[in-house]
Amino acid sequence: MDTQIFKQLWQKHYEIVPVQLQKIKQVKGVATGFNANIDAIYKMTGKKLAELIKKVGLSLGDVENIERCRILDEKDFVKGVFKSFSRGIAEEWICENKEVYDWLQKEIGYDKLQIGGQGGIMANVLSSVGVKKVFAHANSLPKLQAEQFAKCDHLLSFDENGNVKPAYQIDRKKDLPLIHWIIEFSRGDTVEVDGKKFKTPKANRFIATYDPLNLKLVLDENFMEKIKKEKLDFVVLSGFHALLAKSGGEALIDKAAERIKEWKQKAPDTLFHLEIASTQDMLIRKAIALKLVPLADSIGINERETIDLLQVLDCKSLAKRCNEQTTAENLLKGISKIKEKTGVKRVQLHMFGLYLTLQDKDFCITPQENFKGMLTAAVVAASKAKTGEVDEKNVKAIPYDVSDVGLIELDSLSVALGQPDLALNGMGRYKSWDLIAVPTILIENPITLVGMGDTISSISLIASR
């Protein structure tokens, strides 16, 4: 198909987005949890990274030798940044050492602060696009952290006495601010180590997480008990990826699973979505896959997380294939295997340039509704990438310049499946399930990529109306 005609066709599809943005305002209630924190954003240049590598005494052989995907000292942090920078991949490593946390404050600092954690990010996004009530779980909410929530009176949380208030107005004075470092880098930047240059192929980020409360999955009981009385359309959960098996993480997941089961029983008409995140602890990753994913009606996942889940679901050869050739065709096979192994009704994949949703034929959201939601998510995510935040005026100003990368991937997938209509209208089938595909809008020089997956998954669901 002629590329320009193909692009024009998809830009026409995107014209439905303003209507969907208005429909979002009909959503009465959403709850997000469980992790909310402060993100300290720092833009890492190749020059600064080279200086850090030299300062902590690492050689080229050292930075390429990843012995553990967690942070016990400064060298681990630098190795993690180098890995993400040189490969253009997103990863999150847990910092287990208070001294390294102090070193990060002194050595790295930040360019700006903003709300962090999947739960916090999704709360801000959903309140900013007009959901009538958004309840945000926060196991710590001192003034500094509360101020990072959107200044929306309909974005709510609970004070220390269990009173519901606009989240940004709360100040639990005894709570500690929970700060995560988000190290972002730009596509095409280079770092030189021992005379060898590495160019990052894709703008992305590395996250260093020091967070005692979320590492222990501490739940705010006021939220857990009082939120069950609310009539909610959606519950969007995440935050399990930071747990560690050695610290009793599997037992914490078991406990959370029981609480989620109770919640679902009291809210049979509420759709529960689980956002998967980069999980380095293999035992925790397996517990999430086997104990939490089956409880969800829907999950959101990216390329790396697809590969990671396949590894713990005994699909190592398919994981290897997806890692070596990260194509839409291979990743579709990957998410279908995850769906088979866990029984989850809906899986949404957000890969570079293309979104794919695979869902049961009788899922409560139709393929056509899903299609509209995914288009809307692409525009909202593009607005966030371009401006650094979600704002209704900015969203409306985003031109529908559909990604060439996504169009090529979609065309290749439709040919591989023998379904030419998939490339034209974004809807097809795979095995016994509905398949929905949308080429996205890519921003050339994004201000931020933090929370892109969370934004995409939550808006795709909430805008499916």
User: Hey, where are the domains in the chain?
Assistant: 3-32+221-236+251-275+283-462
Stretch 429-434: mean pLDDT: 98
Cβ–Cβ < 8 Å for 158, 226: yes
Amino acid sitting at position 300: G
Whether pLDDT at 27 is above 90: yes
- Work out the average pLDDT over 309-316: 98
For residue 291, what are the CA distances in angstroms to 253, 311, 337?
8, 16, 16
Q: What integer best gives the mean pLDDT of the chain?
A: 94
Q: Count other C-beta atoms under 10 Å from residue 5's C-beta.
A: 8
Alpha-carbon distances, residue 201 vs 18, 79, 208, 277 (angstroms): 33, 18, 21, 22
Residue 39, CA distances (Å) to 115, 124, 304, 396 in order: 6, 13, 21, 26
Query: Which residues, at least 6 apart from 417, have a Cβ–Cβ distance to it below 8 Å?
Result: 329, 428, 430
User: What pairing do the DSSP bridges indicate for beta strands 37-43 and 91-94?
Assistant: unpaired
The more confidently predicted of residues 243 and 393 is 243
- pTM assigned to the model: 0.87
Q: Strand pairing partners for 190?
A: 199
pLDDT at res. 1: 64
Q: Taking a C-beta distance cutoff of 8 angstroms, is the pair 363, 434 a contact?
A: yes
The residue with greater pLDDT, 261 or 5, is: 261
Beta 427-430 vs 433-439: how paired, if at all? antiparallel
What is the model's pLDDT at position 36? 94
Q: How far is CA 205 from CA 45, 91, 464, in A?
A: 12, 7, 29
* pLDDT level of residue 447 (50, 70, 90 thresholds): confident
Confirm if 34 and 445 have CB atoms less than 8 A apart.
no
Q: What is the dihedral of CA 226, 123, 461, 425, to 10 degrees?
A: 170
60-83 per-position pLDDT tens digit: 999 999 989 999 999 999 999 999
How far is 339 from 402, CA to CA, in rounded Å?
28
461 falls in which pLDDT band (50, 70, 90)?
very high
* Residue 181, token pair as written in the block: 């470092």
Given pLDDT bands bounded at 50, 70 and 90, which one contains residue 223? very high
Q: What is the mean pLDDT of residues 311-320?
A: 98
pLDDT tens by residue, 364-418 = 999 999 999 999 999 999 999 988 888 777 787 678 789 999 999 999 999 999 9
CB 272 within 8 A of CB 256: no
Q: Is 220 in contact with 156 (CB distance < 8 Å)?
A: no
The string of DSSP letters for 353-406 reads TEEEEEE-TT-SS-HHHHHHHHHHHHHHHHHHHHHSS--HHHHHH----B-HHH
Give the 3-state DSSP-derived string for 2-13, with helices as H, strands as E and coil as C. CHHHHHHHHHHH
How many residues make up the chain in this entry? 465
Alpha carbon distance 329, 344 (integer Å): 20
Please report, as a single letter, which amino acid is at residue 319: A
> pLDDT above 90 covers what percent of the chain?
85
The CATH architecture annotation of domain 3-32+221-236+251-275+283-462 reads: 3-Layer(aba) Sandwich (3.40)
Cα–Cα distances (Å) from 329 to 130, 204, 323, 408, 412, in that order, read 35, 23, 12, 12, 8
